[in-house]
Amino acid sequence: MFSFHNTPRLLASTCCGILLTAMPVAGSAEQAGYYGYGESPTDEQIAAWDIDIRPDGTGLPEGSGTVDEGMAVYETHCASCHGAFGEGMGRYPKLAGGDGSLAEDRPEKTVGSYWPYASTLWDYIHRAMPFFAPQSLSDDQVYALTAYVLNLNYIVDGDFVANKETLPKVEMPNRDGFIWEDPRPVVNNERCMKDCIDEVAVSDSAEGKNLTPSTTGPLDEGITE
């Protein structure tokens, strides 16, 4: 006997039956080998992600900023974390000072003591600062901040104007302090499938090259913690 009390259960059973019947049809709509993941990005989408600035200044946009303009931007967006003169606050890092400290047990890595290129300083500020609102500054504000931070480290004078022509010409104190050639051995050997040797002898490693601290054996000389 038909009953309105059983109607919802009857409708649910009917719908499930229709859905289960339709699923194989929907699954067979795609051809084998086509997974439907993503789509080719447009030039505009690629340009939105392509924001890196190279050491030679490639990628720097139009615009400019002075040291004085940078001081105003810095006081508004940066001083609460990095201190009024780049001395750092709490756990936020110093931006200035640390001259000649890189060889000490506790080096102070600042823009003046450590950073190799002024153009990549622009990249970092543009990409990641302010800490609580990254990429919220205009290009001119980033140029001004870069000029001010360089001035805090006595790298440029107070009348310096940062732009895409001047930043690549700034000589950073630690520019020659980096080794750009990768010293690690090439280990991309092809997998042996037959007549393989029984034992493999390690002929080289990063140990002793003062690259990264050892976590399983004795510390490399010069690394104290």
Mean pLDDT for all residues in the chain: 82
d(CA 155, CA 169): 12
Task: Give the pLDDT of residue 73.
Answer: 97
Q: Is the Cβ–Cβ distance between 132 and 161 less than 8 Å? A: no
Using DSSP's 3-state secondary structure scheme, residue 110 falls into: coil
How far, CA to CA in Å, does 17 sit from each of 8, 14, 28, 108, 218?
Answer: 14, 5, 18, 69, 67
Task: Give the pLDDT of residue 32.
Answer: 67
Task: Give the pLDDT of residue 200.
Answer: 79
> What backbone torsions phi and psi does residue 172 show, to the nearest 5 degrees?
-80, 145
Convert 83-121 to b/e letters by CB count within 10 Å (16 or more is b). beebebeeeeebbbbbeeeeeeeeebebbbbbbbbbbbb
Q: Which pLDDT tens digit goes with each residue over 8-21?
A: 454 444 444 444 44
Instruction: Give the mean pLDDT of 183-211.
Output: 78
Instruction: Give the mean pLDDT of 82-108.
Output: 92
The secondary structure of residue 192, as a DSSP letter, is P
Strand partners, 66: 161
Task: Give the pLDDT of residue 130.
Answer: 95
pLDDT reading at 189 higher than 80? no
Instruction: Read off the tokens for 188.
Output: 């991309």
CATH topology of domain 62-167: Cytochrome Bc1 Complex; Chain D, domain 2 (1.10.760)
> What backbone torsions phi and psi does residue 206 show, to the nearest 5 degrees?
-80, -10
Instruction: Give the mean pLDDT of 138-158.
Output: 97
Instruction: Read off the tokens for 120.
Output: 């990549």
Instruction: Give the mean pLDDT of 81-96.
Output: 93
**Which DSSP string do the residues of 32-69 spell out, in sequence order?**
TT------PPPHHHHHHH-----TT-TT--S--EEHHH
Nearest to 108 by CA among 116, 117, 99: 99
> What backbone torsions phi and psi does residue 222 show, to the nearest 5 degrees?
100, -15
pLDDT reading at 216 higher than 90? no
pTM: 0.67
Strands 65-66 and 161-162: antiparallel
Using DSSP's 3-state secondary structure scheme, residue 224 falls into: coil
Task: Give the pLDDT of residue 30.
Answer: 54
Instruction: Read off the tokens for 98.
Output: 């640390």
Tell me which of 51-65, 135-149, 190-204 is least confident.
190-204
Convert 201-212 to b/e letters by CB count within 10 Å (16 or more is b). eeeeeeeeeeee
Question: Higher pLDDT residue, 74 or 41?
Answer: 74
Instruction: Give the mean pLDDT of 161-177.
Output: 96
Amino acid at 15: C
